Structure 1
Amino acid sequence: MADPVVLIAHLGGAAGVWRPVLDELPPSLTTFTYDRPGLGGAPPRPAPNPPMSYNAFAGELAAQLPAGRVVLVGHSFGALIARAFAGRYPERVAGFVSVDGSIPQMKLQLDGEPVVDGGTELDLITGHVEILTAPIPDVPAVVLVRRRDWWSTGKPPHPAIDDLWQAHQRILAQQWRAPLIVAERSGHHIPTDQPALVAYAIELVASGRQEPDEARLAKLGGAVAQR
């Protein structure tokens, strides 16, 4: 039996955002989605609610999971929680799928306000150090990245940010010894725009494989990036 699949949503995202992907997965896979405190049906964290690093978010997730190994699937900010989890609990990781994962220290809002998830501020500096120093387990992995020049609404990001984002995905794929797959019909929200492609990446990793079938990828709107 395949290891359970844990799906971790983007910044401010509740568990329900994974429904399109869940609908594409085979029923033989056991899946786990959850609401972080202050999101969906989960109550907020009690006061004083200090800023949290990625390791702290990973610790919260670990406390909700049964013993044993899991396949981690994280979108955007959720991919950073998955990477922190893998660093803290490498023996519990059976596989890793990054879905357009965020850059650890990148401020995701440009209005001067702190970055907040479910009412809790992110400690970006501490979290960045945690990700930089986290060990990477030797497990099957896939890295998905959005199409270049697309963001979440079809509006292109600043070219320099786009270049940095794409470079980060290439480096991440190299670190995890994973194929880098481009979602050619999607902006940042790949789980919504191309859920079948995300489901295929999960199936690959959950089965213990990671090299995709390029013909099937093409039908799903994906392609292996040239390194």
Structure 2
Amino acid sequence: MPAKSRSWRRSIALGLVVPAALGAGLAACGNSPASTPAPAAASSSAAATASPPASILKMITVDGRRLAFHVTPGHQPAIVLDAGGGEDSSYWKGLVPRLAQDTGSMIITYDRAGLGDSDEVAGPWDVHSAVSDLEAGLHQLGVTQKVVLVSHSQAGEVATYFAQANPQLLSGAVLVDANLPPFFTDEEIARLVAATAPQIEEAKKQPSTKQNRQLIATAANFGPAHHDYHAASWPTTVPAIVMVSTKTPFDGSPEDAQRWRDAAAAFAKAGPDRELVTAEGSSHDIPLDRPQLVLDQIEKMASGG
């Protein structure tokens, strides 16, 4: 995809899905790095021979729809990576080989409905349907306990409802600049809906593509869905590392950026076994800006400490 097209799509994705940037911040988020810096070369031939196996595409059928799950073989417990709004499993391509090599764990990435190689679902985007899809996919893959769930941006909403419904399945989560319930007050929802309305109208004028349809579907029920999400809670039995970027999705709006950081801090303080980690100097795309920091936090959660 041309850089200009990806930048436009990413900006709209942030505006509709994070949700995010007001004014100049929207454009700033569209300028996030396009790829993760390459890891340093291995210092020995032994490191080269320890390269992880290639991922395997497994198409899972849920209610007659096909969902794409990419599985890098390894031992369980598995580490599941869930990308943010407007992004598919390829968002994690720079981290998966390193994470598999470092941990030896099974690594799973997947395309939520309407993204990547997964089939679309008609109508407004429904987080509860996304939760059911992830539940069904993991069950069909035989992944049923002690999962480490890593969720970026919009995927924080999927993670919250997933954790509520399946606390026994998770050993912990790493929430990477994720949408968290404390942020979505009625005041903030109203600000975001008003601020992103022009971008939504512009998206509707663009050629109809799978990605564009998904973004518009996400916007369709944004207000009511996030009013409900504000009341959601994270189970006290599931540990969480809460990563927050210093720039946030609202790099152009200091007030909203502070609310985003405050929401992450409030979430971290609201329950036991939660840790707040700040990604200094990073944009909203912490996995792209600070990949080693993200890897360190995932490995810390996977090791139980």
Conserved 8 A contact 1:36-1:42: yes
Please name the residue that 1:59 is paired with. 132
- Normalising by structure 1, what TM-score? 0.78
Q: Does 1:87 align with 2:164?
A: yes
Query: For structure 2, which runs of at least 5 residues remain unmatched after alignment?
Result: 1-74, 204-212
Please name the residue that 2:10 is paired with. none
Task: Give, in whole Å, the separation in 1 of the partners of 2:135 and 2:227.
Answer: 20
2:253 to 149, 153, 158: 158
Amino-acid identity (%): 28
Q: Which moved more, 1:114-123 or 1:90-99?
A: 114-123
2:292 to 183, 186, 196: 196
Query: For structure 1, which runs of at least 5 residues remain unmatched after alignment?
Result: 210-227
1:170-205 deviations in Å (ceiling 9; x for gaps): 011113431111111311000111111111111111
Q: How does 1:38-53 map to 2 (within 5 A)?
A: 38-45=114-121, 49-53=122-126
1:22 to 96, 105, 113: 96
Task: Give, in whole Å, the separation in 1 of the partners of 2:230 and 2:253.
Answer: 25
Q: Which moved more, 1:155-164 or 1:87-96?
A: 155-164
Conserved 8 A contact 2:81-2:92: yes
Please name the residue that 2:225 is paired with. 126
Q: How does 1:151-190 map to 2 (within 5 A)?
A: 151=248, 156-177=251-272, 178-190=274-286
Please name the residue that 1:111 is paired with. 196
Q: Could you say what the CA RMSD is over the residues aligned between the two structures, in angstroms? A: 2.5
Task: Give, in whole Å, the separation in 2 of the partners of 1:118 and 1:139.
Answer: 30
- Inter-CA distance 24–157: structure 2 relative to 1 (3 Å threshold): farther
Please name the residue that 2:42 is paired with. none
How far apart are 1:103 and its partner, in Å?
Answer: 4.2
1:6-34 deviations in Å (ceiling 9; x for gaps): 11101011101011222331151211100
Please name the residue that 1:214 is paired with. none
- Normalising by structure 2, what TM-score? 0.60
Task: Give, in whole Å, the separation in 2 of the partners of 1:2 and 1:137.
Answer: 23
Residue 37 of structure 1 aligns to a residue whose secondary structure is coil
- Inter-CA distance 44–165: structure 2 relative to 1 (3 Å threshold): same
The residue type paired with residue 87 of structure 1 is Q
- Who wins on radius of gyration, i.e. which is larger? 2
How far apart are 1:111 and its partner, in Å?
Answer: 3.1
Residue 24 of structure 1 aligns to a residue whose secondary structure is helix
The residue type paired with residue 39 of structure 1 is L
Conserved 8 A contact 2:125-2:214: no
Task: Give, in whole Å, the separation in 2 of the partners of 1:5 and 1:24.
Answer: 13
1:32 to 108, 112, 120: 108
1:145 to 238, 244, 264: 244
- Inter-CA distance 208–36: structure 2 relative to 1 (3 Å threshold): same
Question: How many aligned positions are there?
Answer: 202
Please name the residue that 2:153 is paired with. 76
Please name the residue that 1:9 is paired with. 83
1:72-109 deviations in Å (ceiling 9; x for gaps): 11001011111110011112111111000124545488
Residue 161 of structure 1 aligns to a residue whose secondary structure is helix
Please name the residue that 1:136 is paired with. 235
1:116-161 deviations in Å (ceiling 9; x for gaps): 74663353323542462345141332111101xx246xx8331110
Structure with a larger share of its residues in helix? 2
